[in-house]
Amino acid sequence: MKSDNRQEFLQHSPLFAGLDGAILDRILSVAVTRRLARGETLFQKGDPGDRLFGVLSGRVKVHTTSPDGKDVTLNLFKEGQFFGEIALLDELPRTADAMAMAPCELMVIHRRDFIPVVESEGKLAMHIIHLLCQRVRNTSEMLEDAAFLPLELRLAKHLLRLVGTYGQPVAGGIEIGLRLSQQELAHMMATTRESVNKQLQSWSQNGWIDLQRSRVTVTNVAALESLLENA
């Protein structure tokens, strides 16, 4: 990616939006690029948290595995988003694994270069605080949903969230622009593939969604929204 496009990338990121061009140039001067193939691991739980990552292209999944082998997806990051800031700031090891869901190009900023900028730029520090607060709220919401909502409502809520983030208008509905297997959806819900498949097939028969080769198209957004509103 060209240098001017990289500065535009930073300007459009919630983490760096509104910062002076000279500060963005300072950040870009220490940023490097890393490419990952689909399925390649970026880091693993326990690795040093010494780098911040921005997705220039592609998508990255952050996930964790329980001692009995159950995989849970914690977050998905698309183009324009940064991640890895928690371990970067507290200097503790990574708390999860990160893997490329598609061929990726990442912007990488090392802690030794990033922290001095944070210390000198109050606006950047406030952006980081806001981002961390949002992550805490999202985690709290996920825990509350897992504790109190049945799978039908959790899955509807998650599909609508994916539509809002990755939705692409197509003939007949809104396609979620991610190749997600039902097993991966089950990992996000912390449930079984069979349970997810049963619910998706039911909605497909109702005409609410269309299932095609690891792609989900929501054909009736209002129906899923009504399901949650009437819960």
d(CA 6, CA 28): 8
Looking at the fold, whether 92 and 174 belong to one and the same domain comes out as no
Q: What angle do CA 88, 90, 92 make, to 5 degrees?
A: 85
pLDDT at position 181, please? 80
Q: Which residues contact 139 (CB under 8 A, 6 or more apart)?
A: none
Q: What are phi and psi of 60, to 5 degrees?
A: -125, 135
Query: Looking at 126, 146, 166, which one is the last position of a domain?
Result: 146
Read off the amino acid at residue 98. Answer: A
d(CA 33, CA 164): 28
pLDDT at position 230, please? 86
d(CA 228, CA 166): 20
pLDDT at position 166, please? 86
Q: How many residues does the chain have?
A: 231
Query: Looking at 146, 167, 190, which one is the last position of a domain?
Result: 146
Looking at the fold, whether 117 and 217 belong to one and the same domain comes out as no
CA–CA distances in Å: residue 214 to residues 11, 46, 153, 197: 33, 31, 21, 12
Looking at the fold, whether 122 and 142 belong to one and the same domain comes out as yes
User: Is the Cβ–Cβ distance between 103 and 61 less than 8 Å?
Assistant: no
- Domain extent, residue 79, equals 3-146
Looking at the fold, whether 56 and 107 belong to one and the same domain comes out as yes
Looking at the fold, whether 158 and 91 belong to one and the same domain comes out as no
User: Is the Cβ–Cβ distance between 129 and 60 less than 8 Å?
Assistant: no
Query: Looking at 90, 117, 146, which one is the last position of a domain?
Result: 146
pLDDT in tens, the chain (231 residues): 555 688 889 988 888 888 888 888 889 999 999 999 999 999 999 999 999 999 999 999 998 887 777 777 888 898 889 998 888 888 889 989 999 999 999 999 999 999 998 888 888 888 889 888 988 898 888 888 888 889 999 999 999 999 988 898 998 899 988 777 888 888 788 788 899 999 999 999 999 999 887 789 999 999 999 999 987
For the record, the structure tokens of 97 come out as 């694994």
Which CATH number goes with the domain that contains 141? 2.60.120.10
Backbone dihedral region of 224: left (phi > 0), alpha (psi from -120 to 50 degrees) or beta?
Answer: alpha
**Domain total of the chain:** 2
Looking at the fold, whether 39 and 120 belong to one and the same domain comes out as yes
